[in-house]
Amino acid sequence: MPTFLSATNLADLTGTSLATAQRWGESGVYPYHKNEKGKAGFYMEELTDVEPVRMMLDTKWDEEFHVASLRDYTSVELFAGAGGLALGMHLAGFRHVLLNEMDAMACQTLRRNHPEWNVLEGDIHQVDFTPLRGMVDFLSGGFPCQAFSYAGKKGGLNDTRGTLFFEMARAVKEIQPKVFMGENVKGLLSHDDGRTLEIIRNAIAELGYTLVEPRVLKAIMYQVPQKRERLILIAIRNDIYKKGVRFKWPEPYRRVMTLRDAFYRGELFDDDVPESAGQQYPAKKARVMAMVPEGGDWRDLPIKEQQEYMGGSFYLGGGKTGMARRLSMDEPSLTLTCAPAQKQTERCHPIETRPLTVREYARIQTFPDNWQFEGNMADQYKQIGNAVPVNLAFAIGRSLIRLFNDIDAQEPEETQYAEAIKTAHNMLPPRLFELDMFDMHELYPRETAIINNPFVKKKHIDNSKLDDSKNVLVCLVPDKYIVPYTTQNAKAYFTGKKFPSTVKLNKLYYFMPYTKGKGIRDLYLIEVARVGTKHEFVEEADENDFRLVFEIKFVTQLFEDYKPIKLMIWRTFTDTNLRAIMAM
């Protein structure tokens, strides 16, 4: 049976407009057909002179799918996000020794799904990668693209300073992987009339790597039901490239996947999409969206509704096809954004009047159903929307594994996976202990002390005998509760509903309040830590709103003025010791 290809999909594959693809059919350039649903389009088998279609018809996808790594190839991933690229590379055969990501919720997602991964949460600017030098085969990451300088004569590495590409380049310089890969939006190709990419090319050459000619990969060609395009940059270290190894781009899948493939049991998933949380439209918007047909947008509304919904945009030029947009079940999704109900980039469900759910979002990005996302609903949509589609990453990863197999065939060189894992683990901050206050209440009745500091002399504290080896907990104090702390008269501090700490409670000793916009100044002693309630401190609060309560006593003002510091744990707490605090 011939494989049907809609005019829309042909336009996307060839990079032309829908009107052009339709004209090809209507004018007889290619035979035009109607499928069983009456939709006009083409048969792929009759488009053999259209290169992307020919590639899909002649694909060696099945052969590539079974490429296996000759050994454990070690990898580091930067800007890891929620793990789309990392998971695809892992499925291909890479073994991650370190993943770096700044977003706290994304890091929790990575840890939840792969507890064995070494996830280094924090700003890449603060990471020293030199301990991993010579231990890592491959480095990858989707670096955000800020403005680049073109002041330099050569447009090399120095002209990327201040950008996150520079930090990725620094990691490459410090680790010296055999191969590294960067991915970005396709707009990087033409950004600043091509000057930005030229700077990156020169920077890669300066690092001692040969850049494979960059290519924009269309996700719809790689078993992804989404019209997403990513620019892929792959560079091979010069000493390896000189030996004749070459990278071969991945073979495409044999057809274009649709939302029907994403939402129902079939080639992509073994079961229908599970129920999950999702945004809802307000009544006014739901009424408008209910009028939009499958695959339609604001232009399909009655003229009066168009004018009311579009407002001033109605009178501006351009198609504005993302507004009031309903997806089509028999087409791939438009590129997902960080939120499914933004007015400019609407992603309404094809046959129900609602935004896509979190799980539907994840399936369009080809995350497996067992991949769970941490944070609130907005956090989850953001993580999924920012991800590299897993199947696209998997396809690229298999091609990279084939490249590494070729490298090893030239000159076998075993990287020490176990040693790399151990080294990377030593680069991580201490493990986080997360306490849920409701669970803590079950273990510790309200009157029970979790810590009862045996070193406290309640009547007198000798400030000259501070123990700088003791742990200090630095905690953010919201502005509405700050007054007792500014006057150095605070007697207690209550945490949020969950308390993350890298130090076990019985090891905590000192406490320092953090004032927003200022930093830290005063040192307190923790006398007791216990389960209490917010109601103890805020009368209108629920009596069952359990919190961790620190009973504290002022010791001394450590600094003449406030010292700014970064709160690293969920941007609310920091664990350290008094020696580190006093050295600031």
Q: Give the span between the Cα atoms of 197 and 263, in whole angstroms.
A: 38
Cα-Cα-Cα-Cα dihedral sign, residues 73, 78, 83, 88: negative
Q: What is the crossing angle of helices 164-175 and 195-207, to 10°?
A: 20
348 part of the active site: no
Say how far residue 173 (Cα) sits from the centre of its chain: 24
Beta bridge partners of 569: 573
- CA angle, corner 359, sides to 9 and 145, nearest 5? 65
Sign of CA dihedral 117, 120, 121, 124: negative
104-113 and 377-385 helices, crossing angle to 10° = 80
Q: What are phi and psi of 263, to 5 degrees?
A: -95, -15
- 71, 355, 506 from 159: Cα distances, Å: 38, 42, 50
158 three-state secondary structure: helix
The CA-CA-CA angle for residues 413, 232, 101, to 5°, reads 80
* Spatial CA neighbour of 295 closest among 364, 242, 347, 355: 347
* C-beta of residue 398 within 8 angstroms of C-beta of residue 114: no
Distance CA 231, CA 227 (A): 14
Query: Which SS3 state, helix, strand or coil, does residue 257 take?
Result: coil
Say which of 107, 145, 348, 475 is annotated catalytic: 145
Cα separation, 232 vs 213, in Å, equals: 9
- Cβ neighbourhood burial of 432 (10 Å; 0-12, 13-18, 19+): middle
Give yes or no for a contact between 554 and 490, defined as CB atoms under 8 angstroms apart: yes
DSSP-assigned letters across all residues of 365-411: TT--TT----SSHHHHHHHHHTSPPHHHHHHHHHHHHHHHHHHHHHS
Structure tokens at 74: 């070690």
DSSP letter assigned to residue 45? G
Residue 209's identity, in one-letter code, is Y
Residues annotated as part of the active site: 145
